[in-house]
Amino acid sequence: MYRLDKTIKLWKVFDKPLNAVAEGSLATGEDPAAVLMSSSAHSESSANGTLHPSLLKLGAQNTSGLIAPIISPAQSRLLRMPRLVYHDTIVAAVPRKIYANAHAYHINSLSVNSDGETYISADDLRINLWNLGISDQSFNIVDIKPVNMEELTEVITAAQFHPINCNELAYSSSKGTIKLADMRESALCDRHAKLFEEEEDQANRSFFSEIISSISDVRFSHDGRYILSRDYLSLKVWDVNMESRPLATMPIHDYLRPRLCDLYENDCIFDKFEGIWGPNNSTVLTGSYSNYFHLVDWERDSSVVLQADKSAFKSRKLAAMHKPGTRGFGPSHINSNNVDFNKKILHASYHPKEDTIAIAATNNLFIFSANHPAPSALA
């Protein structure tokens, strides 16, 4: 599925064979001069309606007195009709359904339910429930729009269905909270079943506190036991049974705290980074600036920072921090004055079963794999 502004499209992806026209060619061992003579003989015969003398010796007279040429198997191979032959296979996509006219604001999230029949779409103020087979009707299940828009204090930033329980979904807000809703309780999930929120340290509160605490992405782990959230400065892992504080907090942009004022002026503080689960429940992935991305094992409290750099065409291992006996340096050692804010990794994907990741960096797609020392880049 794909979202574009306020419209949703369901695409069919398939392998499309590419065929090429095979041109006629000489059979192995044939004399080009003989072929040319034979072609000239046929042309001359066709022009005057008689057989060329060179073909008379190959002919046999039928009952009508006409000469019918006898073509040998070797000569028959010279006459070839154009034909289509397999050339290559490409991945193609065609839109099957278009779901429109259900959102007044830009869609920020799509999530297919575990039942395989429904999905949700979320914008800043509403979450709608759709049936995959019905494109002209949806049901509003979350609506935080106030009667007076001046009273609006938060917006929905991300939403996802539980991977196992088809009645549960989680959505995050710009206030840094995560709400777990149960659709069995009511048709309109105004009242959340659980609220995940970390108490703010009032001593460190500033003008930027609410901006940097806004959650840009929220995702369930594969078994639905944990929730991963990404705000501007950090990654957090929550236990669905513990709402008061996260199990782990992994700093990503702590070195940028002194530059929050500059980031606010150039709008980089509003960048939305994703958080992605690895094949297991211990590894998570997120992007950063200068085309850096972080791989974190939150259970072992270790991480590594890599760079998707086409000029070097190699992953630059910058850090292996917190792990005893490991050489290297961590993200805190990155010089904030040398950060390129025009190069940022906002989107990435982790293979569901293998240690392979896809990184979207500017206009390049990088594929990193634990089985290959160097990444491949697709421009």
Cα angle 134, 136, 138; round to 5: 75
* pLDDT tens per residue across all 379 residues of the chain: 556 668 898 889 988 888 776 665 444 444 444 544 444 444 444 444 454 454 444 444 555 555 555 556 665 555 566 677 777 888 888 988 999 888 889 999 999 999 999 999 999 999 999 999 999 899 999 999 999 998 899 999 999 999 999 999 999 999 999 999 999 888 788 777 899 998 877 777 888 889 999 999 999 999 999 999 999 999 999 999 999 899 999 999 999 998 999 999 999 999 999 999 998 888 999 999 999 999 999 988 888 888 887 665 544 444 444 443 333 345 555 777 788 899 999 999 999 888 899 999 878 899 988 776 555 655 5
Residue of 277, 278, 297, 275 lying closest to 286 (CA atoms): 275
Strand pairing partners for 350?
A: 357
- Pairs from 203-210 (Cβ < 8 Å, separation ≥ 24): 206/260, 208/260, 208/261, 208/264, 208/269, 210/174, 210/175, 210/176
